[in-house]
């Protein structure tokens, strides 16, 4: 526990830039005093924020760069002007050089993915990275992947996602043999996309030692926590994640409206304030903020671009959890047991 955890932070990423990143790091430090930080970004903006937080400043270093990846750029554009010198690139590079245990950025997802792939390379046998999200459920938390790293997936990629997701669940949840389901639009064997069916067949037949494949799950099974790991390709996964966030916010708004609708409702709210606070905390999308990029030879966490300091701290927390438990070593071992081997000399570029 006296072991230092070194964290590289892209100070310029996200909608709010350094203000949220530095404040998020301060919150993380309060929870994990063994952390050390490297900030990459515009010194003119970052230095005053650090100076105002002496405890954080004491365990931080700052690497100046005035190049920042823009949120709206294509990955290829970002790579053109941001390679070697942008805050995002330098943040990932710190992981590559083993100067940091993991990297966090709230910046442009596509650019972060491409730069991470470029710098860190993929794990043996994995073609494409994936983003794994922590999803609050009625039973606790599940891992859902891929939530948007790449669009479309063949059966092999879905099986890889199952293996990587299960390894992550083992570490984050401490479950020896996590249950895994394939997201589909019907539980019957007859339904769904061909790659999903084929992946189901492979997982059923392979009987992998590290995961317990339970079959197809539907969208409403995610929130029930029916399985520890929900596997899907990135387009549907991203839509599921965003739709769930939107629905939680929608219900929250309904509640606020209702509790203001009459005197007795307002009175009831006062009595039940503590209970409401707990519900709000459980529904808070910031709690689950932070997608883990899986499949890369290094740990990169993507924070939501629009999050606040609390959400950014949650993203750091996830990285902290997987580093403590040596995620990469365990994924690599699981992939080895699964018998995955490089299938394509050239992996397709994610965008």
Min CB(4)–a second copy separation in Å: 36
Nearer to a second copy, 30 or 185 (CB): 185
Q: Does 253 bind a second copy (CB under 8 A)?
A: yes
Q: Does 215 bind a second copy (CB under 8 A)?
A: no
Nearer to a second copy, 51 or 262 (CB): 262
Min CB(62)–a second copy separation in Å: 30
Near a second copy in 90-109, by CB under 8 A? 109
Min CB(121)–a second copy separation in Å: 24
> What backbone torsions phi and psi does residue 37 show, to the nearest 5 degrees?
-125, 145
Min CB(81)–a second copy separation in Å: 15
Of 8-16, 26-34, 157-165, 215-223, which part binds a second copy (CB under 8 A)?
215-223
Nearer to a second copy, 86 or 238 (CB): 238
- b/e 28-59 (16+ beta carbons within 10 angstroms → b): bbeebeebebbbbbbeebbbebbeeeeebbeb
DSSP 207: -
Please check whether residue 141 is in contact with residue 174, taking contact to mean a CB–CB distance below 8 angstroms. Answer: no
Please check whether residue 127 is in contact with residue 347, taking contact to mean a CB–CB distance below 8 angstroms. Answer: yes
Interface characters, 3-42, with a second copy (x: CB under 8 A):
----------------------------------------
Q: Does 308 bind a second copy (CB under 8 A)?
A: no
Which residues have a Cβ under 8 Å from the Cβ of 301 and sit 6 or more positions away? Answer: 102, 103, 104, 105, 290, 291, 292, 293, 315, 316, 318, 319
Which residue shows structure tokens 């299960």? 166
Min CB(93)–a second copy separation in Å: 25
Which residue shows structure tokens 């270093």? 61
Interface characters, 189-208, with a second copy (x: CB under 8 A):
-xxxx---------------
Report the DSSP beta bridge partners of residue 6: 36
Near a second copy in 55-94, by CB under 8 A? 72, 74
- Interface residue with a second copy, options 115, 126, 183, 301 (CB under 8 A): 183
Nearer to a second copy, 22 or 227 (CB): 227
Q: Does 51 bind a second copy (CB under 8 A)?
A: no
DSSP alpha helices (H): ranges in the chain?
18-31, 43-51, 54-58, 75-82, 87-96, 109-120, 155-173, 194-206, 219-224, 234-259, 263-271, 273-283, 309-324, 327-338
Min CB(107)–a second copy separation in Å: 13
Of 52-60, 94-102, 113-121, 188-196, which part binds a second copy (CB under 8 A)?
188-196
DSSP 27-95: HHHHH-TTEEEEEEE-HHHHHHHHHT-HHHHHTEEEEE--B---TTS-HHHHHHHHTTTBHHHHHHHHH
Tokens matching residue 284: 């808070």
Which residue shows structure tokens 């929608």? 250
Interface characters, 261-280, with a second copy (x: CB under 8 A):
xx-xx-xxxxxxxxxx-xx-
Q: Does 214 bind a second copy (CB under 8 A)?
A: no
Q: Does 168 bind a second copy (CB under 8 A)?
A: no
Of 23-31, 93-101, 222-230, 288-296, which part binds a second copy (CB under 8 A)?
222-230
| Count of other CB atoms within 10 angstroms of residue 136 | 19
| Residue ranges binding a second copy (CB under 8 A) | 72, 74, 109-110, 137-138, 148, 151-152, 183, 185-186, 188, 190-193, 218-224, 232, 234-236, 238-255, 258-259, 261-262, 264-265, 267-276, 278-279, 282-283, 351
């Amino acid at each position: 526990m006296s072991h230092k955890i070194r964290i590289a932070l892209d100070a310029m990423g996200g909608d709010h830039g350094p203000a949220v990143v530095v404040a998020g790091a301060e919150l993380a430090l309060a929870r994990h005093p063994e952390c050390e930080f490297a900030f990459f970004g515009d010194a003119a903006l970052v230095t005053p924020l650090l100076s105002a937080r002496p405890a954080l400043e004491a365990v931080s270093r700052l690497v100046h760069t005035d190049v920042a990846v823009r949120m709206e750029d294509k990955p290829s554009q970002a790579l053109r002007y941001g390679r070697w010198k942008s805050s995002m690139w330098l943040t990932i590079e710190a992981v590559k050089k083993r100067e940091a245990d993991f990297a966090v950025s709230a910046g442009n997802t596509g650019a972060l993915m491409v730069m991470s792939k470029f710098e860190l390379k993929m794990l043996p046998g994995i073609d494409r990275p994936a983003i794994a999200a922590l999803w609050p459920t009625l039973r606790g938390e599940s891992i859902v992947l891929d939530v948007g790293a790449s669009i479309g997936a063949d059966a092999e990629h879905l099986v890889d996602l199952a293996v990587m997701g299960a390894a992550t669940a083992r570490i984050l949840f401490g479950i020896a043999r996590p249950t895994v389901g394939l997201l589909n639009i019907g539980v019957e064997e007859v339904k769904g996309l061909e790659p999903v069916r084929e992946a189901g067949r492979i997982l059923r037949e392979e009987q992998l030692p590290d995961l317990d494949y339970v079959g197809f799950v539907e969208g409403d099974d995610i929130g029930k926590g029916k399985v520890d790991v929900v596997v899907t390709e990135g387009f549907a996964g991203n839509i599921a994640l965003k739709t769930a966030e939107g629905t939680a916010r929608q219900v929250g708004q309904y509640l606020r409206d209702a509790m203001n609708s009459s005197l007795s409702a307002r009175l009831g709210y006062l009595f039940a304030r503590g209970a409401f606070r707990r519900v709000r905390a459980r529904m808070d999308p910031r709690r689950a903020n932070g997608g883990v990029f899986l499949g890369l030879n290094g740990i990169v966490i993507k924070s939501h671009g629009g999050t606040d300091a609390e959400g950014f701290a949650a993203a750091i927390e996830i990285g902290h959890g997987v580093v403590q438990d040596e995620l990469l070593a365990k994924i690599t071992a699981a992939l080895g047991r699964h018998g995955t081997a490089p299938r394509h000399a050239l992996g397709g570029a994610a965008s």
